[in-house]
Amino acid sequence: MIELLSHMIGSVKLTRFVLFPDNMYGAQRAIISNNFTFYNNLSTIDKRYFEHRVLKFIDSHNFIGRRGLVITKKMEILIASTAVMLTFGMRSYLFSQFENIIIYPKNYLSKVTNKRHLGETNPRLGAIVFSWDDFLEGINIEDNNLNLGLHELAHAMHFSFLREKSFTAILFLEHFNILLERMKDKKLQRKIIDSGYLRTYGFKNKYEFLSVLVEHFFETPHEFNKKLPEVYDMVKLMLNLDTLKMASKLSA
């Protein structure tokens, strides 16, 4: 059953097709093009789908500034583009359990933990929170496996899918559970540790493991596939996306 669903949902026509995609202005498109290598490597039609999803994501979420931060269109587009990049292989791409995206100028004191945070995802309050300085750093440095936007949005995606009944959610959770089951293998655990590749913060729990995998998957796919090919393949199935293939096209 999971193989049949994967084949159906994996179809480009079913996954990203929209009859009348919303159109972006040139200035909006330039913001994406200037900041996302992922977008620049898409086909013309997939760029249209990407832009459509960015506009829909912005319309579906509230962007709220804190400590005097004024929300700009560029901020909305950069955050939405990060979310769309993460979910581009999926049919469902809006985070159903999160209405508000809260942005602080810099790191902030969390009311939940009473500690200073760069970002957090709170499903109880339906809020995703970012330090803008740190969000931008994650975008500007594309190959250090540290991307605050991808990290927190991966949490939001995961928490949303845990509450949804969509085919996209079912497939994602099924593949993620397969990955977690495989992670019980002691030889694979040793290989992961010995590789020194994954950030150790990902070993804290399954939620952080997912977000750290996502950061590595998008930022250094060649190294990921070389050092941990089995894990890379499982993440590829989970997200229905092959960032290695896309990066290889760009360098060809």
pLDDT of residue 113: 82
pLDDT of residue 90: 94
pLDDT of residue 1: 46
Contact 36, 51 (CB under 8 A): no
> How far is 140 from 136, CA to CA, in rounded Å?
6
Contact 9, 168 (CB under 8 A): yes
Sorted by sequence, the CB contacts under 8 Å of residue 3 that are 6+ apart come out as none
What's the pTM value of the predicted model, to 2 decimals?
0.91
Which residues, in sequence order, are bridge partners of residue 103? Answer: 65, 130
The crossing angle, in degrees rounded to 10, of helices 186-195 and 229-239 is: 100
> Residue 139: which of 8, 26, 36 has the closest Cα?
36
pLDDT of residue 23: 79
pLDDT of residue 19: 53
Which uninterrupted H or E stretch holds 184?
none
- E strand intervals along 57-164: 62-65, 100-104, 108-109, 116-117, 119-122, 127-131
Q: Which residues of the chain have pLDDT under 50?
A: 1-13, 252
Pair type for strands 119-122 and 127-131: antiparallel
